[in-house]
């Protein structure tokens, strides 16, 4: 039967190839369109991953530094507090792997200086206390130097890329008191007043009872000073948070708040709260459950998985449109196969009659025509797959940046794989194209077996 099918198709080469071309176009369209959708999905996940971990849930609060810790008379918020008790409760939620607290310090509480006689003073930065034993879990990377560890609790800090440029020279005035970070002609950047790597940084507690003429506060003295070494500079992150951030250990941050309250005679100060808690889930599928549980406790929580779900909905619409366009091509191919097989029946009416007279089973006669239609679909699928690989390679190699920009997803360089053809897509395309052939050949095959043997052998 296989031999008969090949001979019949080969006997009408031109018609067979024209029909196969229709299947090639249809299967190629399906593979390329789906591959573009997979490429967009992967690029989207990569983009979201650069913004933050897809398995994390973030809770934001007022924090120890967003409000003055001395304001014991502040109105209590309806939201539950982000304190150590909350940390313990959140860590017991199912599917929670780790909780990462972060505390932001009020810049009015401390003064940060460096250089001889504290010449250079930090004017602006977001100052965070984090657990050094978990610092690697935040996803930060060092541009120079190294990341802090648990052994650096009271001795080290790490700055963002732009923080050194926010130190002002207290002996200068106007524009000369600061250095702007600008790229030079040779690709390098302007140097700050001091070399930040391994620089000695002094953190002094402000005494709000002693105000200088320029509006700043005097330091509390030796008992209220902490000397740290800046051990590195952090790389820029996708959310532009780290360039303007300075990190110390969270226990030191709590100590600074206690010393500030003691120096300024603040009694009954409210308990310091975390400005943010990041919850790491054991799997991306658990994020939705953890987020809803946290929100049920009264917290406001966000996650990249939530944003991912919204973007995937929009992406699904795009993929549906692309798939619909490809389906039209396959529909045309299916009509072409049906037409070819019906024409073949008219031309082979006498042959069908002879097979019936010789005693061929009806199922075998039907099988021959179905097999021919299936072979047309399979052959078109194989050739279409090979062409699809070529188109995918061309797009990824020569059109990656431009098309990724149009689509709206791309890596840092705007490139990356915009067309991805996994093996399951190849197998699916081959099975689908073969199925299209069999379905298209079903009506002609049934028509063939209904032809009368006596009438058929009379046909010229």
pLDDT, tens only, 321-374 = 877 877 787 788 888 888 888 877 777 777 777 888 788 887 888 888 888 888
Q: Nearest to residue 70, comparing CAs of 101, 111, 103, 105?
A: 105
Percent pLDDT > 70 in the chain is 87
- For residue 403, is it within any domain? yes
Query: Both 251 and 371 in a single domain?
Result: no
Q: What phi, psi does 81 have (nearest 5°)?
A: -75, 150
The neighbour count for residue 240, using CB atoms within 10 Å, is 10
Question: Two tokens at 148?
Answer: 């802090």
Write the DSSP string, 12-58.
THHHHHHHHHHHHHHHHHHHHHHHHHHHHHHHHHHHHHHHS-TTEEE
Query: CA–CA separation, 105 vs 97, rounded Å?
Result: 27
Query: Both 182 and 262 in a single domain?
Result: yes
Query: Both 267 and 123 in a single domain?
Result: yes
Q: Indicate the residue among 263, 282, 301 that finishes a domain.
A: 282
Strand partners, 156: 229
- For residue 420, is it within any domain? yes
pLDDT digit string, tens, across residues 146-179: 999 999 988 999 999 999 999 999 888 888 888 9
Most confident stretch, 45-54, 126-135, 441-450: 126-135
Write down the pLDDT at residue 228. Answer: 95
Number of domains in the chain: 2
* Structural contact between residues 154 and 253, judged by C-beta atoms closer than 8 angstroms: no
Query: Both 83 and 200 in a single domain?
Result: yes
Say whether pLDDT at 73 is over 50: no
- For residue 292, is it within any domain? no
Query: Both 206 and 85 in a single domain?
Result: yes
Domain around 32: 2-49+309-458
Query: Both 20 and 92 in a single domain?
Result: no
Say whether pLDDT at 75 is over 90: no
Query: Both 193 and 339 in a single domain?
Result: no
- For residue 154, is it within any domain? yes
Write down the pLDDT at residue 252. Answer: 94
Higher pLDDT, 399 or 33: 33
Question: Two tokens at 28?
Answer: 């190629």
Query: Both 240 and 342 in a single domain?
Result: no
Please tell me whether residue 217 adopts helix, strand or coil conformation: strand
Average pLDDT, the chain: 82
Query: CA–CA separation, 259 vs 223, rounded Å?
Result: 9
Query: Both 324 and 450 in a single domain?
Result: yes
Q: How confident is the model at residue 74 (pLDDT cuts 50, 70, 90)?
A: very low
Query: CA–CA separation, 163 vs 455, rounded Å?
Result: 94
- For residue 169, is it within any domain? yes
Query: Both 87 and 35 in a single domain?
Result: no
DSSP 335: H
| Residue appearing with tokens 């990656």 | 400
Query: CA–CA separation, 35 vs 30, rounded Å?
Result: 8
Query: Both 391 and 263 in a single domain?
Result: no
Query: CA–CA separation, 99 vs 60, rounded Å?
Result: 13
Query: Both 453 and 330 in a single domain?
Result: yes
Dihedral of alpha carbons 247, 252, 255, 256, sign: negative
Query: CA–CA separation, 83 vs 275, rounded Å?
Result: 9
- For residue 298, is it within any domain? no
Question: Two tokens at 136?
Answer: 């690697």
- For residue 291, is it within any domain? no
* Structural contact between residues 162 and 233, judged by C-beta atoms closer than 8 angstroms: no
Query: CA–CA separation, 129 vs 256, rounded Å?
Result: 10
- For residue 211, is it within any domain? yes
Conformational region of residue 422, where left means phi above 0, alpha means psi within -120 to 50, and beta covers everything else: beta
Which pairs count as long-range contacts for 288-291, CB under 8 Å and 24+ apart, including other chains? Answer: 289/94, 289/95, 290/57, 290/93, 290/94, 290/95, 290/96, 291/57
Question: Two tokens at 60?
Answer: 């934001």
Q: Max alpha carbon distance in the chain (Å)?
A: 118
Q: 206 Cβ partners below 8 Å, 6+ apart?
A: 108, 109, 110, 111, 217, 218, 219, 220, 260
CA–CA distances in Å: residue 428 to residues 21, 253, 357: 19, 57, 40
Strand partners, 168: 121
Q: Nearest to residue 343, comparing CAs of 31, 75, 12, 58?
A: 12
Write down the pLDDT at residue 452. Answer: 75
Q: How confident is the model at residue 191 (pLDDT cuts 50, 70, 90)?
A: very high
Write down the pLDDT at residue 200. Answer: 94
Write down the pLDDT at residue 130. Answer: 93
Please tell me whether residue 185 adopts helix, strand or coil conformation: coil
Q: What phi, psi does 445 have (nearest 5°)?
A: -65, -45
Percent pLDDT > 90 in the chain is 26
């Amino acid at each position: 039967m296989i031999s008969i099918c090949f001979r019949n198709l080969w006997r009408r080469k031109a018609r067979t190839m024209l029909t196969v071309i229709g299947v090639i176009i249809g299967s190629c369209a399906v593979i390329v369109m789906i591959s573009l959708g997979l490429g967009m999905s992967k690029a989207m996940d990569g983009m979201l991953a650069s913004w933050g971990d897809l398995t994390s849930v973030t809770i934001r609060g007022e924090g120890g530094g967003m409000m003055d810790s001395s304001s014991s008379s502040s109105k209590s918020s309806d939201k539950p507090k982000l304190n150590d008790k909350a940390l313990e409760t959140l860590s017991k939620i199912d599917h929670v792997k780790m909780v990462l607290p972060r505390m932001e310090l009020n810049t009015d509480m401390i003064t940060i200086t460096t250089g001889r006689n504290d010449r250079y003073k930090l004017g602006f930065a977001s100052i965070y206390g984090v657990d050094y034993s978990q610092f690697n879990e935040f996803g930060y990377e060092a541009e120079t130097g190294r990341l802090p560890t648990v052994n650096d609790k009271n001795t080290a800090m790490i700055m963002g890329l732009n923080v050194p440029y926010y130190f002002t020279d207290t002996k200068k005035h106007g524009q000369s008191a600061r250095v702007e970070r600008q790229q030079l002609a040779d690709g390098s950047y302007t140097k700050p007043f001091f070399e930040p790597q391994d620089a000695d940084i002094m953190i002094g507690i402000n005494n709000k009872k002693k105000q200088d003429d320029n509006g700043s506060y005097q330091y509390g003295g030796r008992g209220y000073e902490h000397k740290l070494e800046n051990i590195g500079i952090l790389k820029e992150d996708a959310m532009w948070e780290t360039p303007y951030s300075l990190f110390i250990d969270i226990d030191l941050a709590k100590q600074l708040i206690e010393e500030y309250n003691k120096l300024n005679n603040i009694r009954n100060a409210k308990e310091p709260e975390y400005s943010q808690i990041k919850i790491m889930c054991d799997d991306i599928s658990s994020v939705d459950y953890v987020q809803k549980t946290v929100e049920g406790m009264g917290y406001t929580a966000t996650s990249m998985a939530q944003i991912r779900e919204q973007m995937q909905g929009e992406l699904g619409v795009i993929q549906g449109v692309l798939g619909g366009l490809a389906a039209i091509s396959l529909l045309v191919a299916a009509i072409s196969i049906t037409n070819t097989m019906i024409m073949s029946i008219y031309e082979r009416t006498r042959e069908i009659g002879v097979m019936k007279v010789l005693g061929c089973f009806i199922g075998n006669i039907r099988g021959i025509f179905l097999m021919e239609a299936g072979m047309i679909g399979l052959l078109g699928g194989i050739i279409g797959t090979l062409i699809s690989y070529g188109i995918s390679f061309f797009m990824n190699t020569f059109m990656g940046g431009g098309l990724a920009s149009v689509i709206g997803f791309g890596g840092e360089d705007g490139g990356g794989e915009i067309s991805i053809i996994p093996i399951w897509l190849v197998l699916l395309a081959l099975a689908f194209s073969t199925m299209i052939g069999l379905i298209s050949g079903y009506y002609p095959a049934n028509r063939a077996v209904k032809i009368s043997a006596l009438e058929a052998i009379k046909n010229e």
